[in-house]
Structure 1
Amino acid sequence: MPASAADRPNNVILFIADGLRSPMVDDSTAPTMSALARSGVFLRNSHALFPTFTTANASAFATGHYLGDTGDFSNTIYSAFPVQAAGGSVTPFLESDPVIEEVDAHFQGNYLNEETILQMAQAKGYGTAAVGKLGPTYMFDNVGRKAIVIDDSTGSNKGVALSQDVQDRMKAAGLPLIAPTRGPNGVAGDFKTPGTKVANTTQQDFFAAAATRVVLPMLKEKGQPFVMVFWSRDPDGTQHNQGDSLGKLVPGINGPTSLAAIRNADDDLARLRAALQELGLADSTNIIVTADHGFSTISKQSATSPAAKDSYADVPAGMLPVGFLAIDIAKALNLPLADPDANYAAIAAGQHPKGGNGVIGTDKDKPKVVVAANGGSDLIYLPDGDKELAGKVVRMLLEQDYVSGLFVDKALGAFPGTLTLDDIALDGKAVTPKPAIAVNFRSFDTVCGEPARCGVIIADSPLQQGQGQHGSFSRADTWNFMAFHGPDFKAGFIDPAPTSNADVGRTIAHLLGLKAEDKGNLVGRVVTEAMKGGEAPEVTSRTIVSAPAHNGLQTVVNMQMVGETRYFDAAGFPGRTLGLTAPPQPTH
């Protein structure tokens, strides 16, 4: 077990390899991670939280809570007020420091409504830092901002200001005070032009250099225990934009560019470990390596979607445009559709919202329906709480071949074929608007031998078929990599028990002797079985099945439990979600 409260706790580094699928890690693809998992603890039954998006799971890492408490339901949410940092949109994309700052201010100073591990560590005088991808990095210290924060926005008026001491040390280390851009790695291409063919090496080299040559030495000099977050944009950013597979499902996100991105993240971890050795910190630092979510290749095919039957200037014929869900709902309700990310411009036939989001109704300021498009799943909001309208939307969704599972706010009533938000821990103490319906999209695999390595999802995304996305309830998206290593953890141990990203936040707090003052009850657990002297927990399995819809469809959830803590493996309609199994005798 970790040091007692009377002793000095060991340091913690949380390394997040964004979008890293667990079955992709081996000695050839990611030798540093593979070796760390082999010599420390490999958590082979790990879980991202649904919706499997970055800021949503960052909120779980940061607070130890499920999304029903943090209110970060996806990368894009409905804010119910125009966010000026997002161009006045009511559907802000949260991977932005100024957007998070404005959303925080609107929701009593902290939209997560829970304390983060960095804030708790600061209260005890410990050192804190967060380095890497903008948005999730900022979230760990969104209140108070006492940590060293270095991200994409560093050096700009949108970034967290660096202290003079940090600036001086950056200069002494030969590092720029302005973070480099992604360069060619940020090129996504279009339906005619392939995206990037290079990993995010330049930007991440800057982050790794800043962490190893500036931040870690400063944390050591402070003379107190510390917690540092390092958020590697790769492999996520590269898997999204890769140009290896334009229009094709194979190789999809398993081409050479994606593999280079996995190695890029692995190399950054190797640099951090080498720096710990050089600084004499290796024996007193626990390293938690994980990912916010898995990943899948994008499909844009549907035989039922009205949106796919229209023609668009920038979409291959017969393919789903970005915003297909908003378009299909607006058509089904015979209501106007406007784009909240384009000054609420009306969307006519042959047009689509530029980011997929939509406000539906005759008054843009009082919409009947809001669609927050995210990728492998979307969120639908009904600002009026209209139960009759909810029923119409559900019936329309049940007719679409791209849908695989619906989760509805129980305040709207019970609908055959659907389960509730509460069934998947999306109904808690959140202060942000709660979705009316969470829509999971269909997933399958390309038959590569290990389904979770080659998953495919229908994605409501500006990206193209053959590129990469996540967000679904497919096991390819929920099965993130996770491994622990360090003085408080066992050596050479494979943990078969289920774990989740909420457990990571809880476990870090435990290692550092931090005590959260929880507002919500949807929390992870401390992974004590991974610690020295820890015992294996009792694990149970459970499947939840909805009543059948008029067409026989049933939303099914496969889950595991440790005590009252829930772990969601996969969910959706049987036959439409990768990794989902349905019992022969369902219970409602």
Structure 2
Amino acid sequence: MFRLPAKLPRKCNEYVTDMQYIILEIIHYIEADMKLATYIYFTLGMCIFSCNWAIADEKPHNVILFVADGLRPGLINEKNAPAMATLLKNGVRFENSHSIFPTFTMANAASMSSGHLLGDNGIFSNTIFVNFPTKSAANSVTPFIENDSVLGELDSHFAGDYLNEETILAAARKKGLMTAAIGKLGPTLMFDHLARSGDESIIIDDSTGRAGIPLSTELKSQLQALGLPDTAPTRGLNGNSGNSSTPGTTVANTEQQNYFVNVTTRAILPSFKEKGKSFVLVFWSRDPDGSQHNQGDSLNQLMPGINGPTSMAAIKNADTDLAAIQKTVQDLELDSTTDIILVSDHGFSTISKQSKTSPSAKGQYKNVITGQLPPGFLAMDIAHSLGMPLFDPDNQNGLVGPGASLSKGNGLIGADPANPLAIVAANGGSDLIYLPTVNKAVAEKIIHTLSSQDYVSGIFVNDRLGRFAGTLPMSSIGMLGSAVTPTPDIVVNFASFEQTCLDPTTCAVTVSDTLLQQGQGMHGSFSRADTRNTMGAIGPSFKKHYIDPLPASNADLGITIAELLKLPIASKGNLKGRFLSEALPGGFIGKAIKEEVRSTTDQEGHATILIRQRMGEQMYFDVAGYPGRTVGLSAK
């Protein structure tokens, strides 16, 4: 039997070796239960490290979070992205990093900003069912939420805070830190969505100077003195997505992002330096995501897909922006007090619109190549299977007749669009299905329909509906918690496959429910190509030249930034990320457990398989789907 030391240390940074010995002795005596052993090892180790961290010298401390939307880590090298490659080499590279599923921008922005999984923050995707007509989205009940006005309506409708968790910028602002979020419309505001006056956090995005958050008088004066406009430019040609016969863009989003960088480096950072207070700044680069979505290099062709020259230019554009911000930090002599974190919200894949089983693919539609899946194919196929009418929530709830497709892919299924039997929120590499009334018979019919389609690879069902063969519960992927927005009842992952290349996560193809064309870019699936994101950090708080092998996720970033800045954030939900302490000098290095969760087999012979990792109570989702239909999930 092990024995505790006769006298415990008075200071928590003393006798750490003895404490670790105690932990190892505990594990020795309970090694039969490795899950419990790992939990104790991780928890007590965190106690040691947290205590040391709490007594560290108080110094001015700044954090810059640079988000390169849709950046695939396998494409970061000295040629494509020299600044990013250098950061990952000289600082910490989180080799085992994870996007939150569904792997969409707003879902991951919510997790980054709050430190919680989707079951708590309720932002389940880019398009969600909100159960009220959203005026800013043409009265749709399924709005696309990358929009400042839509987010304002969500706040008003859901008791003043749709996220239901405090964000890191809001907590920093309340503590007296200077705060700013600049970049892509939607996720930028997510970081402090309640600060809408312009005199709190600085919010600058696509809608600045139009319908966006106003600028403060002070910032307007600074921009005027610098010769910078107070209205953000549009994306210009980069916003051109093309159609089924006309290619999309062939240029990166340079003009708009040059504006965001100029405002950041010439106005905001110098102002923060002059005021001498600690700050936290978020810069959300739309590239490479926006250019990869809209690229015109591969119209209706899977090769080169999202690996053509436009996508490479977009990666270089984001890298140039990061380099400019890093240089400004150095020029202002802020580098000794500023941590810079590099992350992407998700990976990326090339779009496929192919199916041999879908009834919708057999129809003829305007702007859809014959034989390809139309936008809204999932809602159309479900309505067909149920023998129910289909209505378009984004077109005044109009009936979708023969030969017509859905304007944005979303659908209301049932005799009455005001009281639908089922709602489909189309998003891309995965879709959400809502059942306003618990109806297991309808759920079972929908699940059978999904299982019979070759474009489906894995189904997750809300626990309230019970268990169904071939599916896994949504609780297994962190989608059930304290959220105040409507929770989906069925989450559908679409099939993906590999192209020929050395790194399958850089050249995957995913069937996507989208207005974009085959050969353009999308994400959102449970393939490792979409769940594998970029994550790295450099600065005074972090180790140098360190490759972190432990699982990390976008939810962990919110928790880690809060710890770095010592922000008191009260949580309402329990689905939280963890402090990435192992990336800090003297940080505790725990151990991860890998798990395979397998459903029963359905009548089509399919079973949903989930591969995940655990660190204590935190879950990290590698890949899920039907074996052989999802990149990263072997057919064996």
> Which residue number in structure 2 is paired with residue 39 of structure 1?
90
Instruction: Please tell me whether the aligned partners of residues 98 and 622 of structure 2 are also in contact (alpha carbons under 8 angstroms).
Output: yes
Matches within 5 A, 1:444-459: 444-459=497-512
1:9 CA drift (Å): 4.6
Once residues 251 and 521 of structure 1 are traced to their aligned partners in structure 2, the CA distance between those partners, rounded to angstroms, is 43
Once residues 553 and 153 of structure 1 are traced to their aligned partners in structure 2, the CA distance between those partners, rounded to angstroms, is 45
- The answer to whether 1:266 aligns with 2:319 is yes
Matches within 5 A, 1:149-548: 149-156=203-210, 158-548=211-601
1:447 CA drift (Å): 1.4
* 1:413-437 CA distance string (max 9 Å, x none): 1100000110100001100000010
1:535 CA drift (Å): 2.9
Instruction: Please tell me whether the aligned partners of residues 302 and 352 of structure 2 are also in contact (alpha carbons under 8 angstroms).
Output: yes
* 1:59-112 CA distance string (max 9 Å, x none): 001000000100000000000010111110000101000000001110011111
What SS does the corresponding residue of 2:234 show, helix, strand or coil?
coil
What SS does the corresponding residue of 2:519 show, helix, strand or coil?
coil
Once residues 531 and 382 of structure 2 are traced to their aligned partners in structure 1, the CA distance between those partners, rounded to angstroms, is 27
Once residues 488 and 192 of structure 1 are traced to their aligned partners in structure 2, the CA distance between those partners, rounded to angstroms, is 51
Instruction: Please tell me whether the aligned partners of residues 91 and 537 of structure 2 are also in contact (alpha carbons under 8 angstroms).
Output: yes
1:109 to 141, 148, 160: 160
Instruction: Please tell me whether the aligned partners of residues 9 and 513 of structure 1 are also in contact (alpha carbons under 8 angstroms).
Output: no
- The answer to whether 1:87 aligns with 2:141 is no
> Which residue number in structure 2 is paired with residue 65 of structure 1?
116
1:224 CA drift (Å): 1.6
* 1:511-566 CA distance string (max 9 Å, x none): 00012110000010000000011132111100000011012100000111111111
* 1:317-346 CA distance string (max 9 Å, x none): 100001000100110011111111111111
2:202 to 139, 148, 151: 148
Once residues 178 and 123 of structure 1 are traced to their aligned partners in structure 2, the CA distance between those partners, rounded to angstroms, is 28
Question: Which has more radius of gyration?
Answer: 2
Once residues 348 and 195 of structure 2 are traced to their aligned partners in structure 1, the CA distance between those partners, rounded to angstroms, is 33
* 1:7-48 CA distance string (max 9 Å, x none): 135200000000001111111111000000000001111000
Instruction: Please tell me whether the aligned partners of residues 411 and 424 of structure 2 are also in contact (alpha carbons under 8 angstroms).
Output: yes
Unaligned runs of 5+ in 1: none
* 1:450-496 CA distance string (max 9 Å, x none): 10010110000000000000000010000111101000000000001
1:20 to 33, 46, 71: 71
1:52 to 72, 86, 103: 103
4+ residue runs of structure 1 moved beyond 4 angstroms? Answer: 1-6
Instruction: Please tell me whether the aligned partners of residues 284 and 487 of structure 1 are also in contact (alpha carbons under 8 angstroms).
Output: yes
Task: Read off the aligned partner of 2:70 and give its amino acid letter.
Answer: G
* 1:95-133 CA distance string (max 9 Å, x none): 000000001110011111000000110111001000000
Task: Read off the aligned partner of 1:96 and give its amino acid letter.
Answer: N
Once residues 167 and 530 of structure 2 are traced to their aligned partners in structure 1, the CA distance between those partners, rounded to angstroms, is 25
Task: Read off the aligned partner of 1:23 and give its amino acid letter.
Answer: G
Root mean square deviation of aligned Cα: 1.1
* 1:394-425 CA distance string (max 9 Å, x none): 01101000000000001111100000110100
> Which residue number in structure 2 is paired with residue 580 of structure 1?
633
What SS does the corresponding residue of 2:336 show, helix, strand or coil?
helix
* 1:197-241 CA distance string (max 9 Å, x none): 000000000000001111111222232211000000000000000
165-174 or 199-208, which deviates more: 165-174
What SS does the corresponding residue of 1:45 show, helix, strand or coil?
strand
Once residues 365 and 392 of structure 2 are traced to their aligned partners in structure 1, the CA distance between those partners, rounded to angstroms, is 16
1:581 CA drift (Å): 4.2
Instruction: Please tell me whether the aligned partners of residues 110 and 123 of structure 2 are also in contact (alpha carbons under 8 angstroms).
Output: yes
Instruction: Please tell me whether the aligned partners of residues 3 and 9 of structure 1 are also in contact (alpha carbons under 8 angstroms).
Output: no
What SS does the corresponding residue of 2:493 show, helix, strand or coil?
strand
Once residues 595 and 96 of structure 2 are traced to their aligned partners in structure 1, the CA distance between those partners, rounded to angstroms, is 15
> Which residue number in structure 2 is paired with residue 569 of structure 1?
622
Instruction: Please tell me whether the aligned partners of residues 8 and 225 of structure 1 are also in contact (alpha carbons under 8 angstroms).
Output: no
What SS does the corresponding residue of 1:444 show, helix, strand or coil?
strand
Once residues 493 and 106 of structure 1 are traced to their aligned partners in structure 2, the CA distance between those partners, rounded to angstroms, is 45
Instruction: Please tell me whether the aligned partners of residues 559 and 570 of structure 1 are also in contact (alpha carbons under 8 angstroms).
Output: yes
What SS does the corresponding residue of 1:269 show, helix, strand or coil?
helix
Once residues 44 and 454 of structure 1 are traced to their aligned partners in structure 2, the CA distance between those partners, rounded to angstroms, is 19
Q: Give the 3 Å change call, closer, same or farther, for CA 2–283 of structure 1 in structure 2.
A: farther
Task: Read off the aligned partner of 1:490 and give its amino acid letter.
Answer: K
Task: Read off the aligned partner of 1:324 and give its amino acid letter.
Answer: F
Instruction: Please tell me whether the aligned partners of residues 294 and 520 of structure 2 are also in contact (alpha carbons under 8 angstroms).
Output: yes
Unaligned runs of 5+ in 2: 1-51
What SS does the corresponding residue of 1:558 show, helix, strand or coil?
strand
Instruction: Please tell me whether the aligned partners of residues 350 and 509 of structure 2 are also in contact (alpha carbons under 8 angstroms).
Output: yes
The two structures have a TM-score, normalised by structure 2, of 0.90
Instruction: Please tell me whether the aligned partners of residues 60 and 277 of structure 2 are also in contact (alpha carbons under 8 angstroms).
Output: no
Instruction: Please tell me whether the aligned partners of residues 377 and 471 of structure 1 are also in contact (alpha carbons under 8 angstroms).
Output: yes
Q: Give the 3 Å change call, closer, same or farther, for CA 9–521 of structure 1 in structure 2.
A: farther
> Which residue number in structure 2 is paired with residue 97 of structure 1?
148
Once residues 526 and 440 of structure 1 are traced to their aligned partners in structure 2, the CA distance between those partners, rounded to angstroms, is 29
Task: Read off the aligned partner of 1:308 and give its amino acid letter.
Answer: A
Once residues 260 and 141 of structure 1 are traced to their aligned partners in structure 2, the CA distance between those partners, rounded to angstroms, is 30
What SS does the corresponding residue of 1:44 show, helix, strand or coil?
strand
* 1:361-383 CA distance string (max 9 Å, x none): 11111111100000000000001
What SS does the corresponding residue of 1:554 show, helix, strand or coil?
coil
1:6 CA drift (Å): 6.2
Instruction: Please tell me whether the aligned partners of residues 196 and 242 of structure 1 are also in contact (alpha carbons under 8 angstroms).
Output: yes
Task: Read off the aligned partner of 2:179 and give its amino acid letter.
Answer: T
> Which residue number in structure 2 is paired with residue 119 of structure 1?
170
Percent of paired sites with the same residue: 55
